[in-house]
Structure 1
Amino acid sequence: MSVTDTTSGLSLNDILANSSIKTNTSADGLAAATNSATGKKALGKDAFLQLLVTQLKNQNPLEPQDNGEFVAQLAQFSSLEGITTLNDTVSGIAGNYNSSQALQASSLVGRSVVAPGDKAVVDTSKSMTGTVVIPGSVAGATVKITDKDGKAVRTIDLGSQTAGNATFIWDGKDDAGKPVDSGTYTFAATTTIDDQAVSLITNLPATVNSVTISQTGGELMLNLAGLGSIALSKVQTIGM
């Protein structure tokens, strides 16, 4: 009796192709694994690891993944894990910063601050102090005070000044020496430079009514009584 080799001429690929062993290396299979792992959300480290394992389980046994490529994928996984940890740390720092801002804000409510502006709510029963920013040496400068109706009530002569902040004090009286009503007044400081009238910046007192804390990490905003909002960074002085 003779025995005939019926497999001669057949390769291992031919045998596997005719057998029930199937490999799943199609793009559809990987896409299905991706949707299962991520749920259509951002790819996190757990989903990345699940996809890596799925890829290894479904790789072609005749063309296994290259060792270098596998090591590169592991390195990517380590980098992803490190970035995730860094994001968590930064989020924690941001949370602590917001809490610090809230504490800082609560201590400012009801306090007096000096900030750039041309209006101030003045209690004329007592003196008010402000400053004028002088850009350079000038022969003279004045501060004109007007009421809410635009009527001039007082002009304060600052005289000659050098560069810096020039302080002025208003006693709540008009040019005739009569007391005026308390309320909101406008302060306009001017000087003459090269025969040209130049407006100057005034720093005026105000009371912090409330504070607005940004939910996106922006700057703390102070809401001044009767004057609107101003950024904390613009405040020159914080008083009692």
Structure 2
Amino acid sequence: MTAAVTSTTSSTTSTSSTSSSSSGLSANYDTFLKLLCAQLTNQNPLDPTDATQFTSQLVQYSNLEQQIKTNDKLDTVLSSLSSSTFSSSVGYLGHVVEAEGDSISVQSDGTVDATWGYDLDSKASSVALTITDSAGKTVWSGTGETGKGSHSLDWDGTDSKGKAVPAGTYTLKVTALDSAGAAIETSTSIKGTVTAVDSTDGTTSLELGGTSVSLSNVTRLAA
């Protein structure tokens, strides 16, 4: 098999997303109303509910109502933002992206959807590269470049004997050691052409063939 390792450069950005739901508050809101009505209905006429306590409960009721309305408005805003994110992500189609990750897919025709990249925090004495299948079984192993910085692994989808691997998901593990045998910090990435944009689960992701990456994990966009 052929596995070419070459140097590359990359930049990192990060994004974050938040979500909220008013379902829990709505349940509390309904329960509050029922309890308040039950308290008023069943209060002792000779010893009615203290006015101060009743006023406090009404204030809580009002605050809870406002909080639910606020959450509903936030849900609307977040929904709009999600739609906007999806629309803007269409611009990634056909472009090559790099994203944080360590797994790529191999299609039934032997096509490898993406290439791997790895970054070393410092110069290494040795770098071992291991590719495993979805069951954790090693299908290929080799050595990589040892210089500090970013490197890439262009895998052709064959095992250590040169035989094509079955379709599925494959993961790269990088083990780097310094001259004293101590482990060196590493990170991995994947690189491929965007073929589709998906947001069916509420989170926008980019598909590189059969490999899916979250938009928030994208670190670099190429022409």
**Which residue of 1 is the match for residue 212 of structure 2?**
229
Q: For residues 175 and 39 of structure 2, what CA distance do their matches in structure 1 show?
A: 76
**Which of the numbers 88, 112, 125 marks the counterpart of 2:96?**
112
State the SS of the aligned residue for 1:165: strand
- Shift in Å, 1:89: 2.3
- What does residue 69 of structure 1 align with? 53
TM-score, length-scaled by structure 1: 0.48
- Which residue pairs with 1:147 in the alignment? none
Q: Which residue in the other structure is 2:78 paired with? A: 94
Deviation at residue 70 of structure 1 after TM alignment: 2.3
Distance 1:205 1:229 in 2: 11
**What does residue 195 of structure 2 align with?**
209
Q: Specify the SS of the correspondent of 2:63.
A: helix
TM-superposed CA distance for 1:198, in Å, is 7.9
Change (3 A) 1:112 1:65: same
Query: 1 CA distance for matches of 2:54 and 2:77?
Result: 35
Alignment CA distance shift 1:232-1:52 (3 Å): same
Matches within 5 A, 1:84-163: 84-115=68-99, 116-117=101-102, 131-138=117-124, 158=145, 161-162=147-148
Contact 1:141 1:189 in 2 (8 A): yes
- Describe the superposition over 1:121-172 as per-residue Cα deviations: whole angstroms up to 9, x where unpaired: 9xxxxxxx9754122123576989xxxxx899xx9985x623x22479x8x9
- Please give the per-residue CA displacement for 1:189-219, whole angstroms capped at 9, x wherever unaligned: 776533769896554530111122154x5x4
Report Cα offsets for 1:89-141 as digits up to 9, x if no partner: 221222122112212332222221123447699xxxxxxx9754122123576
Residue 59 of structure 1 and its aligned partner are, at CA, apart by 5.8
- The 2-side partners of 1:69 and 1:157 are apart by 72
CA contact (8 A) 1:120 1:206 kept: no
Partner of 1:91, secondary structure, is: helix
- Cα distance in 2 for residues equivalent to 1:61 and 1:120: 73
Matched ranges for 1:45-56 at <5 A: 48=33, 52=37, 55=40
| Cα distance in 1 for residues equivalent to 2:54 and 2:76 | 33
1:238 aligns with 2:217: no
Structure of larger gyration radius:
1
In the alignment of these two chains, the number of paired residues is: 167
- Sequence identity of aligned pairs in percent? 25
The root-mean-square deviation of aligned C-alpha atoms, in Å, is: 4.8
The CA deviation string for residues 32-70 of structure 1, in whole angstroms up to 9 with x for no partner, is xxxxxxxxx94647x939x659937x8665444322232
- Residue 205 of structure 2 aligns with an amino acid whose one-letter code is M
> TM-score, normalising length from structure 2?
0.51
Q: Find the residue that maps to 1:138 and give its secondary structure.
A: coil
Partner of 1:206, secondary structure, is strand
Q: Which has the higher contact order (CA 8 A, sep 6+)?
A: 2
Contact 2:98 2:221 in 1 (8 A): yes
Q: Match of 2:195, SS? A: strand
Q: Distance in 2 between matches of 1:235 and 1:203?
A: 9
Contact kept? 1:101, 1:213, Cα under 8 Å: no
